A = this chain, B = another copy of it.
Amino acid sequence: MPDGLGGGGQSHRLPRGAHPGRNIPSAGVSGFGFVEKARFGFFNHAKGAYDPDDFHRLEITNLDRTLAWKKGRPSVHSHASGGGVLFGVVGGHILALTVARGSLEITVTLHSERFDRRTELSVGGYVLHLP
């Protein structure tokens, strides 16, 4: 189920039907394309939060995302990397992504079971669990 995003859309808002919900227990998403802006985060264990930075105009070489659940609500986790005008690649955890004048081609793979993220103290973060 590939789809193209373009024309000012934000890839972070997935196409209708691509969010986990009554009809989509869980899903994986992969993609590549061009974005006007990406806000990446690097997890800071001391703060328990992501340190952010913004990057502009990237040829996204891959985006990976798992749509699951956390405490009964949809939970999206995604990482991406992309090359700039001189082809150096930056990337990390995605905090925000704006496609704008580019096009991002994504493939959504549906899973038949509901996956949950649960806190694990030993990790200091959420870990995906299978049913």
Contact = CB atoms under 8 A, between A and B. Distances in A.
A32 interface: yes
B66 A105 contact: yes
Contacts of A6: 120, 122-123, 125, 127
B83 A32 contact: no
Main secondary structure, interface of A, reads: strand
Interface of A: 2-8, 26, 28, 30-34, 40-43, 45, 51, 53, 55, 59-62, 64, 66, 77-93, 101-103, 105, 107, 109, 111, 115, 117, 120, 122-130
B2 A91 contact: no
B87 A88 contact: no
Contacts of A122: 6-8, 101
Given A7-B122, A34-B43, A61-B64, 20 more contacts: A2-B111, A2-B115, A2-B128, A4-B117, A4-B127, A6-B120, A6-B122, A6-B123, A6-B127, A32-B79, A40-B59, A42-B83, A43-B102, A45-B101, A51-B85, A61-B79, A61-B81, A88-B89, A102-B123, A107-B109
